């Protein structure tokens, strides 16, 4: 795709905050988030727009919710959302759940996808100790029904309980994707219109790119999520027992199986050949890609915004590669990103304000704008269709190809997601052991066996 301006004119006018006014009182809604840079700016603009609408709204007025065809019953209060950056996802979750936690928890907290099982456990405590208020209960307090079918099923399935009721609101959702530098492909004699579809294609491309003098043919971000979690889902492989933690209380890791040993062993071989460069555990591979150092990157679809803003070359985005000799592959990739959880112990009036804000975030115009401004997926069918009608996908060819691949493929028992307690700590173990593989200190089989042994000790707690 030719480099082009990513941030289009806003679909909605986002004004600066206005003090809530009119009859009644103003109730503050504190929203902890973990967004930095341009994403933090978008969070603050969304809050500012909501606050301005509150100031202008007439009290006690009923309004339709365009997305869900439901109604919110407005109280005489107006509400003001206060976004607070609380550090990284890990830091925010620790501040919320650790012993001696803050005496004044927020109303809403943004929690990374792998924190879902921990938040569900906090919500499963008895009513006197539960830290979480499921959003289907919050929306009912606010006089609004919430319809999971309005959201993309691959997204809501992960954040719903066994009865299909949403526990948290999907917000900044993403999936895995492949990015290529099409100028580098041309330099290596590769077809820039045909991004690799399989890992075999990736190997052929990496070898050609290296021979063409490109020092970093391939790199990855979020190595646990891409190379193990999404690899498992894409190929119908169980990451953990008990349906990846969805179906039991005592799951065990299964990532020492031959499939994973083969995949990580392949990447270790690429590392020795100079085809694969490793830069770090999170999104550290993004700058080497958009700076032109690396020719291929596997990362989150949410990286698209930064790549579009920084890349000075012709690039493309496509679905995550799969192993073409794996039976049943490809299935769907996993949902990443984070969702919004509501904290228990607030007043009915505060929950009405939370419901109003969550309804605002779910409206198709707001969701379409968030999708187009940030690169995160549109979480609702209506926002996806609106973005299509607005010509966004015509202006950015291929940007929705990972989403289309995800929703077009059948969601199997192993590709619904992964719900494990202590998953943040387990990911840290995975990162540490994979780094031992990349440095040549451990073979893939030994490292993955050590992940299972160490991770299972956490799961037994």
The domains of the chain, with CATH numbers, are 26-174+336-390 (3.40.190.10), 176-333+421-459 (3.40.190.10)
∠ at Cα 199 (230, 333), nearest 5°?
20
Give the chain's mean pLDDT. 86
Q: What pLDDT is attached to residue 255?
A: 98
At 327-343, the pLDDT tens digits run 878 888 998 999 999 99
Per cent of the chain over pLDDT 90 is 62
Q: What is the pLDDT of residue 101?
A: 62
Q: For residue 66, what pLDDT is reported?
A: 35
Q: Give the pLDDT confidence score for residue 415 in this predicted structure.
A: 82
Residue 13 has pLDDT above 90, yes or no: no
Instruction: State pLDDT tens for residues 267-308.
Output: 999 999 999 999 999 999 999 999 999 999 999 998 998 899
Task: Tell me what the mean pLDDT of segment 56-80 comes to.
Answer: 49
* Residue 70: C-alpha distances to residues 151, 152, 159 (Å): 15, 18, 21
Query: Residue 102 — very low, low, confident or very high, per pLDDT cuts 50/70/90?
Result: low
pLDDT band at 359 (very low <50, low <70, confident <90, very high): very high
pTM: 0.85
Confidence of residue 379 (pLDDT cuts 50, 70, 90): confident
Compare 23 and 311 and report the one with higher pLDDT: 311
pLDDT score for 100:
60
408 pLDDT above the threshold of 80: no
70 pLDDT higher than 80: no
pLDDT at 354 over 50: yes
User: Does residue 354 contact residue 347 with C-beta atoms inside 8 Å?
Assistant: no
Asked if residue 8 has pLDDT above 50, the reply is no
Range with the poorest average pLDDT among 123-132, 355-364, 422-431: 123-132
pLDDT in tens, 84-101: 999 998 899 888 877 666
What are the pLDDT digits (tens) for 409-452?
767 788 888 999 899 899 999 999 999 999 999 999 999 999 99
> Three-state secondary structure along the chain?
CCCCCCCCCCCCCCCCCCCCCCCCCEEEEEEEECCCHHHHHHHHHHHHHHHHHHHHCCCCCEEEECCCCEEEECCCCEEEEEEEECCCHHHHHHHHHCCCCCCCCCCEEEEEHHHHHHHHHHHCCCCCCCCEECHHHHHHHCCCCCCHHHECHHHHCCCECCCCCECCEEEEEECEEEEEEHHHHHHCCCCCCCCCCEHHHHHHHHHHHHHCCCCEEEEECCHHHHHHHHHHHHCCCCCEHHHHCCCCCCCCECCCCHHHHHHHHHHHHHHHHCCEECCCCCCCCHHHHHCCCEEEEEEEHHHHHHHHHHCCCCEEEEECCECCCCCCCCCCCCCEEEEEEEECCCCHHHHHHHHHHHHHHHCHHHHHHHHHHHCCCCCEHHHHHHHHHCCHHHHCCCCCHHHHHHHHCCCCCCCCCCCCCCHHHHHHHHHHHHHHHHCCCCCHHHHHHHHHHHHHHHHCC
What is the percentage of the chain residues whose pLDDT exceeds 70? 87
Task: Give the mean model confidence (pLDDT) for residues 350-363.
Answer: 94
User: What is the per-residue pLDDT for 51?
Assistant: 94
Binned at pLDDT 50, 70 and 90, residue 128 comes out as: low
Look at residue 59 and tell me whether its pLDDT is greater than 60.
no
* Contacts of range 40-49, beta carbons closer than 8 Å, 24 or more positions apart: 40/85, 42/370, 42/373, 42/374, 43/83, 44/83, 45/14, 46/14, 46/361, 46/366, 46/370, 47/17, 47/81, 47/82, 47/83, 48/14, 48/15, 48/16, 48/17, 49/12, 49/13, 49/14, 49/15
Q: What are phi and psi of 161, to 5 degrees?
A: -85, -175
Q: Is the pLDDT of residue 6 over 60?
A: no
Kindly tell me if the per-residue pLDDT of 16 is higher than 70. no
How many residues would you count in the chain? 461
Q: Which residues of 106-141 are buried (b: 16+ CB within 10 A; e: fewer)?
A: bbbbbbbbbbbbbbbebbeeeeeeebbbbbbbbbeb
């Amino acid at each position: 795709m030719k480099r082009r301006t990513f941030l289009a004119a806003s679909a909605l006018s986002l004004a600066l905050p206005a003090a809530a006014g009119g009859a009644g009182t103003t109730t503050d809604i504190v929203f902890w988030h973990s967004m930095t840079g341009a994403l933090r700016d978008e969070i603050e603009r969304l809050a500012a727009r909501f606050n301005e609408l509150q100031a202008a709204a007439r009290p006690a007025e009923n309004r339709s919710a365009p997305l869900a065809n439901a109604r919110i019953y407005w109280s005489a209060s107006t509400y003001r959302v206060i976004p607070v950056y609380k550090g990284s996802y890990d830091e925010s979750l620790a501040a919320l759940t650790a012993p001696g936690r803050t005496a004044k928890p927020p109303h809403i907290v943004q929690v990374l996808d792998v924190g879902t099982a921990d938040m569900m456990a906090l919500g499963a405590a008895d009513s006197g100790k539960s830290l979480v208020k499921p959003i289907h209960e919050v929306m009912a307090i606010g006089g609004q029904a919430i319809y999971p079918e309005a959201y993309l099923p691959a997204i809501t399935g992960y954040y719903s309980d066994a009865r299909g009721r949403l526990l948290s609101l999907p917000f900044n959702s993403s999936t895995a994707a492949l990015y290529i530098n099409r100028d580098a492909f041309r330099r290596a004699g590769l077809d820039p219109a045909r991004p690799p579809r399989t890992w075999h294609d990736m190997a052929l491309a990496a070898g050609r790119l290296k021979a063409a003098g490109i020092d970093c043919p391939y790199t990855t971000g979020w190595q646990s999520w891409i190379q193990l979690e999404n690899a498992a889902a894409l190929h119908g492989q169980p990451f953990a027992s008990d349906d990846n933690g969805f179906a039991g209380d005592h799951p065990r890791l299964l990532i020492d199986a031959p499939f994973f040993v083969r995949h990580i062993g392949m990447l270790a071989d690429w590392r020795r050949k100079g085809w694969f460069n490793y830069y770090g555990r999170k999104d550290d591979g993004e700058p080497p890609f958009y700076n032109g150092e690396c020719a291929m990157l596997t990362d989150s679809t949410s990286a698209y915004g930064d790549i579009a803003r920084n890349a000075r070359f012709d690039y493309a985005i496509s679905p995550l590669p799969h192993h073409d000799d794996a039976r049943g592959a490809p299935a769907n990739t996993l949902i990443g990103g984070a969702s919004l959880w509501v904290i228990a112990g607030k007043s009915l009036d505060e929950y009405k304000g939370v419901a109003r804000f969550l309804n605002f975030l779910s409206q198709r115009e707001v969701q379409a704008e968030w999708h187009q401004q940030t690169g995160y997926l549109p979480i609702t069918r209506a926002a996806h269709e609106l973005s299509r009608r607005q010509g966004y996908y015509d202006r950015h060819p291929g940007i929705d190809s990972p989403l289309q691949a995800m929703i077009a493929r059948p969601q199997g028992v192993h590709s619904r997601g992964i719900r494990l307690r202590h998953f943040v700590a387990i990911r840290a173990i995975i990162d540490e052991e994979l780094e031992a593989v990349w440095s040549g200190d451990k073979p893939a089989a030994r490292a993955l066996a050590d992940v299972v042994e160490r991770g299972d000790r956490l799961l037994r707690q």
